[in-house]
């Protein structure tokens, strides 16, 4: 399975570039459908673009399903494991159960959620947020990618009716729980497999700086309204505020218009990703960064607007499912994560848990992301045991 997926969607800059509904991610979706076909698993695509492959019990029962899986899209220059590891491991776990003649008494679903990284339309976990009703469908329809194409138009391009996006209570009503296996992002595990206790609060904010485009050579410094200066101040403020309030803050994406070497920019748009152990750390960090941005903007005659694009409060995974998984696995380390996941979104509607596979370097959202084959195998074995227990297989 890996061998077929690995070459799909490589980023010329290294790693992977599998943005939702772009050719590489569509190829990943085709891979998903092929894996399901080979296993005679009926595939369901919800109105939001999420994919599900179902291993049904002999009586064809649809309710009480144990859902697993993850996502197939990536950040730009992403690693091979973030997302796909959970989907590949889910199919491999079904293979392992079937190989020993297991038959589920509950359905087992393999999910591939759409736009988990938010790399194309800007909101992370867009597919699972729509499914669970935790984002306004009107807002989602209007989200635009870097070329200005709306999410609604892209859905329509792929045979989905944008008018139908939103919560799918029928599908969620058929599920009893969701267990997402994911490569650990960070270095907390010194054994192959662990489980998540919580996801820390995290969010994204957009900073728009509007100045005056002009000639780089003939415009006196005193006459400039250069948006790059408050932008630069904001990036530095993100680091100092995060240090001050015990959070982490990143400005990983910026758009400079017009982007000419010899042109003072007319505008700069930048996105802040801020996370922390508690809401207050995140909120205070963002407030300080916004203050610095506004002060610097006014000092340079630049307009600025700050908008919260998404915010996910802390998620604590329910103990009864987590304790059951710990029992099944004979005890595994349990740790919080600073990474957001579809599991964190599904937790609003279902008992949800996460299994982590050791990441020896901790690096993720970068080409160097890696997991050892023996740890990947241990992850599949753990997911197999958990599915056997939960699905009565
Ligand atoms: O951004 C995150 O934390 C996740 O990897 N999507
Ligand atoms: Mn990710
Ligand atoms: Mn992920
Ligand atoms: Mn995820």
Query: Which DSSP string corresponds to 285-341?
Result: HHHHHHHHHHHHHHHTT-EEEEEEEEEE--EE--HHHHHHHHHHTT---EEEESS--
Q: What is the pLDDT along the chain (393 residues), one digit of tens a residue?
A: 899 999 999 998 899 999 999 999 999 999 999 999 999 999 999 999 999 999 999 999 999 999 999 999 999 999 999 999 999 999 999 999 999 999 999 999 999 999 999 999 999 999 999 999 999 999 999 999 999 999 999 999 999 999 999 999 999 999 999 999 999 999 999 999 999 999 999 999 999 999 999 999 999 999 999 999 999 999 999 999 999 999 999 999 999 999 999 999 999 999 999 999 999 999 999 999 999 999 999 999 999 999 999 999 999 999 999 999 999 999 999 999 999 999 999 999 999 999 999 999 999 999 999 999 999 999 999 999 999 999 999
Closest-lying ligand 1 atom to the alpha carbon of residue 365: 5
| DSSP state, residue 41 | P
List residues bridging with 349 in a β-sheet. none
Report which bound ligand comes closest to the CA of 117.
1
Q: Measured in angstroms, how far is the CA atom of residue 187 from the centroid of ligand 2?
A: 15
Helix (H, G, I), strand (E, B) or coil at 362: coil
Q: Measured between alpha carbons, how far apart are the two ends of the chain, in Å? A: 23
State if residue 124 touches ligand 1 by the CB under 6 angstroms criterion.
yes
> Binding site for allantoate: residue ranges?
204, 262, 275
User: How far, in Å, CA of 104 to CA of 82, rounded?
Assistant: 28
Q: Measured in angstroms, how far is the CA atom of residue 340 from the centroid of ligand 3?
A: 7
Helix (H, G, I), strand (E, B) or coil at 10: strand
State if residue 200 touches ligand 1 by the CB under 6 angstroms criterion.
no
Nearest Cα neighbor of 131 from 27, 42, 45 is 45
Query: Residue 178: what pLDDT?
Result: 98
Q: Measured in angstroms, how far is the CA atom of residue 224 from the centroid of ligand 3?
A: 42
Neighbours of ion ligand 4 (CB under 5 A): 116, 341-342
State if residue 126 touches ligand 1 by the CB under 6 angstroms criterion.
no
User: How far, in Å, CA of 39 to CA of 156, rounded?
Assistant: 29
- The H-or-E segment that residue 153 falls in is helix 151-157
State if residue 184 touches ligand 1 by the CB under 6 angstroms criterion.
no
List residues bridging with 337 in a β-sheet. 199
State if residue 117 touches ligand 1 by the CB under 6 angstroms criterion.
yes
Q: Which residue's CA lies nearest to atom 6 of ligand 1?
A: 117
Neighbours of ion ligand 3 (CB under 5 A): 82-83
Q: Measured in angstroms, how far is the CA atom of residue 50 from the centroid of ligand 3?
A: 15
Closest-lying ligand 1 atom to the alpha carbon of residue 202: 3
User: How far, in Å, CA of 116 to CA of 362, rounded?
Assistant: 20
Query: Residue 32: what pLDDT?
Result: 98
User: How far, in Å, CA of 112 to CA of 90, rounded?
Assistant: 10
Which domains, and CATH codes, for the chain?
Answer: 2-200+314-391 (3.40.630.10), 203-312 (3.30.70.360)
Q: Which residue's CA lies nearest to atom 3 of ligand 1?
A: 339
| DSSP state, residue 12 | T
| DSSP state, residue 159 | T
Cα separations in angstroms, 141 against 133, 150, 154, 332: 14, 7, 9, 41
Q: Measured in angstroms, how far is the CA atom of residue 371 from the centroid of ligand 3?
A: 14
User: How far, in Å, CA of 94 to CA of 128, rounded?
Assistant: 23
Closest-lying ligand 1 atom to the alpha carbon of residue 118: 6
- The H-or-E segment that residue 357 falls in is strand 352-357
Nearest Cα neighbor of 338 from 283, 242, 253, 274 is 274
State if residue 286 touches ligand 1 by the CB under 6 angstroms criterion.
no
Query: Residue 240: what pLDDT?
Result: 98
Closest-lying ligand 1 atom to the alpha carbon of residue 275: 3
State if residue 118 touches ligand 1 by the CB under 6 angstroms criterion.
no
Q: Measured in angstroms, how far is the CA atom of residue 127 from the centroid of ligand 4?
A: 11
């Amino acid at each position: 399975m890996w061998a077929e997926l690995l070459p799909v969607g490589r980023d010329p800059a290294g790693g992977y570039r599998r943005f939702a509904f772009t050719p590489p991610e569509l190829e990943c979706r085709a891979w998903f459908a092929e894996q399901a076909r080979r296993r005679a698993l009926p595939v369901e695509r919800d109105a939001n673009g999420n994919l599900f492959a179902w291993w049904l019990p002999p009586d064809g029962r649809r309710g009480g399903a144990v859902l697993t899986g993850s996502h197939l899209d990536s950040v730009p220059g992403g690693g091979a494991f973030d997302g796909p590891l959970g989907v590949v491991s889910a199919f491999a776990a079904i293979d392992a159960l079937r190989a020993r003649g297991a038959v589920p008494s509950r359905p087992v679903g393999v999910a591939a959620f759409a736009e988990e990284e938010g790399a194309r339309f800007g909101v992370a976990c867009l597919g699972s947020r729509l499914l669970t009703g935790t984002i306004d469908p009107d807002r989602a329809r209007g989200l635009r990618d870097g070329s200005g194409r709306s999410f609604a138009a892209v859905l329509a391009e792929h045979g989905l009716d944008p008018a139908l996006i939103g919560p799918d209570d029928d599908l969620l009503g058929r599920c009893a729980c969701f267990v997402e296996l994911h490569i650990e992002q960070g270095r907390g595990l010194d054994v192959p497999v662990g489980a998540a206790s919580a996801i820390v609060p995290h969010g994204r904010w957009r900073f728009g700086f509007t100045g005056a485009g002009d000639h780089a050579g003939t415009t006196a410094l005193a006459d400039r309204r250069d948006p790059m200066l408050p932008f630069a101040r904001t990036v530095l403020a993100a680091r100092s505020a995060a240090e001050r309030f015990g959070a982490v803050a990143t400005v990983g994406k910026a758009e400079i218009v017009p982007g000419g070497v010899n042109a003072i920019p007319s505008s700069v748009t930048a996105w802040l990703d801020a996370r922390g152990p508690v809401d207050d750390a995140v909120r205070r960090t963002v407030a300080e960064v916004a203050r610095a941005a506004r002060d610097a903007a006014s000092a340079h005659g630049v307009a600025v607007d700050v908008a919260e694009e998404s915010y996910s409060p802390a998620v604590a995974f329910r103990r009864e499912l987590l304790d059951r998984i710990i029992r099944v696995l004979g005890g595994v380390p349990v740790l919080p994560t600073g990474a957001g996941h579809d599991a964190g979104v599904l937790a609003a509607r279902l008992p949800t848990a996460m299994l982590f596979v050791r990441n020896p370097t901790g690096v993720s959202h970068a080409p160097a992301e890696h997991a050892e084959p023996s740890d990947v195998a241990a992850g599949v074995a753990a997911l197999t045991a958990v599915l056997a227990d939960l699905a009565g297989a």
